[in-house]
Homo-oligomer: A and B are copies of this chain.
């Protein structure tokens, strides 16, 4: 055990960029993401292994799909280097485009807005629940309570203050926005999400800060009542939608960092989200230590 010196040493190491290695060269790995991400995963060579930073935010473009009825992203250049000496744009967008946060206030008149969410909840252990095999067969697939229990049987009880993310593989459809929204002949949308019962389980039986999805909505597309939104957000938890690169994040053991929006009265907003994980082992989640055992804390 390193006891009291551990945090200090790591802080110092990061400060000194010692984890970049003796040459100071960062090793960058990963291929381009589905929506123009330059680097999906950055690997720092650390003295005791490697520190991986996953970029969980998609690049936002005017073509980025939004929930039907929402205003897409648009941009107008208002200064150019040729004419003005500098380049600058004006932006116009819904708060709910790209990889973005849903604040409690999005569905709760008494809920906190995104700009006032506690920063402590933006640094959280993340559990990734992979339903991609089921989602490939069924666009209406949902994360159910059994999926959470199966994750716990493998990785231990969800840690206190966890963020629980659904990985459905849906981002592969982003190159074709219509197939990402996936409106059926029945007019309903069809994409995966969290079942309201699973949301209720997480909110009432576990201690979470929020949930996230790699689709347009916390609820599956065919939902008629936003049951998951109405369970998670009024409970003071937040959501992240359109998350990127969750397939690269270990099922257990990574830390989520959310760079949430800071405009006043925000129902939500585009967010820069990272997952950071250490250890020299890559692609072998089973060999990473369990994140379980934290238990519930009654932190709120």
Which are the 8 A-B pairs with shortest beta-carbon distances? A259-B259, A24-B297, A4-B48, A259-B272, A2-B2, A15-B125, A11-B278, A7-B278
Q: Taking the complex as formed, is A178 at the interface, i.e. its CB lies under 8 A from any CB of chain B?
A: no
Known: A262-B59, A272-B262. A253 touches B11 (CB 8 A): yes
Of B53, B95, B254, B297, which contacts A123 at CB under 8 A?
Answer: B53
Q: Is B51 a contact of A7 with CB atoms below 8 Å?
A: yes
Give 20 new A-B contacts, CB below 8 A, not counting A20-B160, A89-B266, A98-B263: A6-B13, A16-B294, A17-B125, A17-B294, A18-B294, A20-B299, A23-B297, A39-B119, A57-B262, A60-B115, A82-B109, A86-B229, A87-B109, A88-B94, A91-B91, A91-B269, A257-B257, A258-B259, A261-B270, A271-B272
| A99-107, A138-146, A196-204 - the one binding chain B | A99-107
The A14-32 residues at the B interface (CB cut-off 8 A) are 14-20, 23-26, 28
Q: Knowing A61-B264, A262-B98, A272-B272, say if A279 contacts B160 (CB, 8 Å).
A: no
Complex alpha-carbon distance, A259 and B256, angstroms: 12
- Complex CA gap A298/B36 in Å reads 28
Interface size (A, Cβ < 8 Å)?
116
Q: Which residues of A are interface residues toward B (Cβ below 8 A)?
A: 2-20, 23-26, 28, 36, 38-39, 42, 44, 46-49, 51, 53, 55, 57-61, 70-71, 73, 75, 78, 81-82, 85-96, 98-99, 105-109, 115-116, 118-120, 123-125, 159-161, 207, 226, 229, 252-255, 257-274, 276-280, 289, 291, 293-294, 296-299
